[in-house]
Amino acid sequence: MYIREPMPGIPGDPAWPTAAEWLRGDYGEQPASAPHIGVIGVPLSQSSAPPAAQHMTPALFRQHLERFACFGAGVGITDPRSVYLSEEVRASDLGTLEIGHLHNVPAQEKIKTEFTELAARGVPDLLFCIGGDDAVMRPVLTGLHEDPGRIGLMMLDSHHDVRLGYRNQGPHNGAAVRFMIEEDGLLGSNVVQIGIAPFGNSPVYRRYCDEHGFTIVEAGPARREGFAACVARHLDQLAERVDTIIVDIDVDVLDAGYGPASPGARPGQIAPWELHEACNVIGAHPAVSTLIVVEVDKTMDLFGTGLDNACVCFLQAACGLAVRPR
């Protein structure tokens, strides 16, 4: 299988700073007063069945940032403008958690502990977590916040993630939301799911979501409203009833033609530019404290499309943060 290797923007050109250089802090000193985005890798794939390789994504994500500039040209929805990330947003790389030697349950326990310690030290204005599979959302949310009942969870996803905890392996990547509701105190009324696939979920699990008061917008209605506009509207509504919002993006929300790196992707979902615009909206929203991007599997990622999309999600969120009201 051919996997495209990341290429620097313009090799050896100091006037063409890459996003990877910006994240590493190689391109000038950023003002302390600038809004701060931090990146942390959460390489969990132990919860996935069949076995997958999402644990490789954090390192590959950083490599693929070499393909992108840290200059966002004409980005934004309501008031598009160019954003000079190296001058307007302070970035820091918080590293990658070391959990590869652990089985699923202890790995998730370690993730929770690490995020609890991170919260105690202080988090950036926007914390960007790159997974990993979608089981990471539970230990990230519960590690950062002692009272999940006051937290809003927005998911851009094809699936509800309320499946039973089967396989005798504890909470897996299709069950995180169910475990948070039944064991951690997350309120279903504070869960918003946008981009749900028309033929990707069980009616049993949909009834579970309805009974617990989830807000659900399927991919078709979200597209017709305008995906970014739909995300913005629901962020505003969710922010009225919670203390802060965590947004979880499963890249399988992309149409299968655009998202071959995600095992759960199906035809008829959303286009990359719709997801990217939504990430700009997410970064700009003052209630959003954490953005999680998950489910990119290198072994399925012919030509690096999934990694490229994860990188643009990050960069668009950072550009949104640059114009976030403070």
pLDDT tens digit sequence for 203-212: 999 999 999 9
What is the pLDDT averaged over residues 35-41? 98
- Of the pLDDT bands very low, low, confident and very high (cuts 50, 70, 90), residue 78 is confident
Poorest-pLDDT segment among 162-171, 181-190, 240-249, 304-313: 162-171
- Of the pLDDT bands very low, low, confident and very high (cuts 50, 70, 90), residue 124 is very high
pLDDT above 60 for 48: yes
Residues 6+ apart with CB under 8 A from 34: 87, 88, 89, 90
What is the pLDDT averaged over residues 176-180? 95
Residue 38: alpha-carbon gap to chain centroid: 13
What is the pLDDT averaged over residues 71-99? 94
CATH class of the domain whose range is 19-322: alpha beta
CB 34 within 8 A of CB 101: no
pLDDT above 70 for 24: yes
- Of the pLDDT bands very low, low, confident and very high (cuts 50, 70, 90), residue 1 is very low
pLDDT above 50 for 3: no
Poorest-pLDDT segment among 122-136, 167-181, 239-253: 167-181
Token couple for 175: 């069950």
Nearest CA to 306 out of 18, 44, 29, 60 is that of 60
Which range of 57-61, 151-155, 257-261 scores highest in mean pLDDT? It is 151-155
Nearest CA to 89 out of 326, 286, 320, 311 is that of 320
What is the pLDDT averaged over residues 240-259? 96
Note the pLDDT of residue 166.
Answer: 63
- Of the pLDDT bands very low, low, confident and very high (cuts 50, 70, 90), residue 168 is low
What is the pLDDT averaged over residues 125-129? 99
Residue 170: alpha-carbon gap to chain centroid: 22
What is the pLDDT averaged over residues 278-287? 98
Token couple for 103: 């089985």
Calculate the average pLDDT of the chain.
92
Note the pLDDT of residue 204.
Answer: 97
Q: What angle do CA 288, 156, 129 make, to 5 degrees?
A: 55
Note the pLDDT of residue 2.
Answer: 35
- Of the pLDDT bands very low, low, confident and very high (cuts 50, 70, 90), residue 248 is very high
Other C-beta atoms closer than 10 Å to the C-beta of 326 total: 8
Poorest-pLDDT segment among 165-169, 245-249, 292-296: 165-169
Note the pLDDT of residue 216.
Answer: 99
Using alpha carbons only, how large is the chain's radius of gyration in Å? 18
pLDDT above 60 for 186: yes
The pLDDT tens digits for 134-162 are: 999 999 999 999 999 999 999 999 999 99
Note the pLDDT of residue 49.
Answer: 65
